[in-house]
Structure 1
């Protein structure tokens, strides 16, 4: 494509200057005219050397695509794509403005336990504010002490004064 030759030929034909350049594979033609019909005159004079053409004047723009050897106007499709892009941008901005991230979920408070000793067969006894915890008690321990879980609970309650005894 020889942009200078196209600009010169079109400028002579329509009797006003035409700026011509290629941008991203699109042949761009600019005129300083408010006459929208000038775009149709220009496209009729243009050689079919570019697949996509944009013709812009003062306050208007037309888009053409080369189809079967003729330029077909597709400005409406370009407007729809533009509206879609503007809509997508508005959506992203709206989400950015109005989206509120979920509030962080605080972990439940960790109870602080205090080690208070070991039982006669080696199991551990821990306490917190409200309960006593028996940790590591095995069935063999119950057999050696000749008791069951309720018997161990009863003894621990009497020794510690707690009414809540739990096994871990």
Structure 2
């Protein structure tokens, strides 16, 4: 379990760091191009949103890797996540207009959370809801990944490490 956990957490940290660095770079470019003067308040408003979105991006990456670990197909795992993402975003918009109890399952998919987080639409969901989903989905993905790895004989990514 420790090997699986180290493997997944190192990947998650790399993804989160790369996403955060890109966000900070784009934030700086937006300030410079917009002709704004940097203020501490701008960064104070930006950082929590960036952290929440980084956790959501990590959860999506871990979900993709977990689906890949189960199916063994990178194309299939990517397609499942993309189709699920687009479908859940579409259905989330529909459920906002007229809440439909049978559509509650869309909240198991990352689409609504990442869409709301990237649009900074915290009026629909609070930052804590988004952060909670990201952490819960990541933990569940790691658990499923570990269980599948143990059933496969502890072999990670098809190698014998």
Class of the TM-score when normalised by the shorter of the 2 chains: under 0.3
Greater fraction of residues in helix: 2
Kindly name which structure, 1 or 2, has the bigger radius of gyration based on alpha carbons: 1
Answer 1 or 2: higher relative contact order, Cα 8 Å, separation at least 6: 2
